[in-house]
Amino acid sequence: MCQVTVVTTAGRPDELSMMLAKKACEELNVPFEPRKKRSVTKISQLLDANVIVAGKNRYEYYPKGAQTPFFFHPNSAAFRLKRVARGEKEPFLQSCQLAEGHSFLDCTLGMGSDAMLAAYAVGEKGRVVGLEADPNVAFIVRNGMKTYDTSELPLTNCMRHIEVVQSEAVAFLKHQKNDSFDVVYMDPMFEEVIEEANNFEALREAGRHIELSDEWVMEAIRVAKKRIVLKAHYKSKLFDRFHFQREIRFTSKFHYGVIDK
């Protein structure tokens, strides 16, 4: 049984907050709940529901029982892009081997940090599609990428270039033709918690936890034209289980694995 979701406004809603609330209700086909000076926790408990708050500057998503909201932020992409623009090496891009004009499918978009780097690498002529299984998370990220206010370049262009699709990975892959994306990328939720990744916790609560499966990997191999890339914790058994060639990184708690076509 799916959890009910409602949309409300900030504590003191203005015209913009009401407009954003209406937009969320229409896009997600969920009901509006007036704030009436109640806390988000109170609304969630009374309605037994997830709550999306349409604030003045952003949407915040509180899955039922969560104390910390999930909201869009470019996260680590900002400083990673600056390093890449300076010509420094980026492990993710080294593993994906993306070039201008390539197409890239991110099966586990999350906050979209990796997809933003991919958008930078493939350029204006390339294509980046990001999948997010949870409709509420997909809504927050899609709208955030379209509207996040930053003057930083190339970050803004990269965010705007990503196509956010609400779909589970396997379902989406099954509808794609053979060799339809140059690179298919998978970053399932880490089996081990990385303590330093505090900004990951809100996403961990909000997102869906879908385990990598034989069907998922087989479909990814079919759809990828050049390479399939997996990101996982260094202790993960997924690399060996699905025959990814692991790229060891002694200074990092996560590694990349690749399958070349």
The residue whose two tokens read 């790229």 is 247
The residue whose two tokens read 């609304």 is 43
CB-based burial, 32-43: b 16+ in 10 Å, e otherwise? ebebeeeebeeb
Q: Give 3-state DSSP helix, strand, coil % of the chain, rounded to 5.
A: 35, 25, 40
Q: Note whether 213 and 227 are within 8 A (CB).
A: no
Distance CA 75, CA 78 (A): 7
Q: Is residue 67 part of a domain?
A: no
pLDDT value of residue 194: 42
Same domain membership, residue 40 and residue 128: no
Q: Note whether 27 and 140 are within 8 A (CB).
A: no
The CATH number given to whatever domain includes residue 200 is 3.40.50.150
pLDDT value of residue 38: 95
Confidence band of 203 (pLDDT split at 50, 70, 90): low
Same domain membership, residue 29 and residue 128: no
Mean pLDDT score, 160-186: 97
Q: Is residue 70 part of a domain?
A: no
Same domain membership, residue 223 and residue 138: yes
Q: What is the pTM of this model?
A: 0.92
Residue at a domain's end among 30, 62, 94: 62
Same domain membership, residue 110 and residue 58: no
What confidence tens digit (pLDDT) does each residue in 89-98 have? Answer: 999 999 999 9
Taking 70 as the threshold, does the pLDDT of residue 48 lie above it? yes
Q: Is residue 72 part of a domain?
A: no
Q: Is residue 71 part of a domain?
A: no
Same domain membership, residue 170 and residue 147: yes
Taking 60 as the threshold, does the pLDDT of residue 233 lie above it? yes
Same domain membership, residue 167 and residue 215: yes
Which token pair is 129?
């599609």
Confidence band of 204 (pLDDT split at 50, 70, 90): low
What residue spans of the chain are helical by DSSP H? 15-28, 40-47, 77-85, 91-96, 113-122, 135-147, 155-160, 169-174, 201-206, 214-223, 238-241
Taking 80 as the threshold, does the pLDDT of residue 15 lie above it? yes
Same domain membership, residue 161 and residue 204: yes
Query: Where in the sequence is the domain holding 17, given as residue range(s)?
Result: 4-62
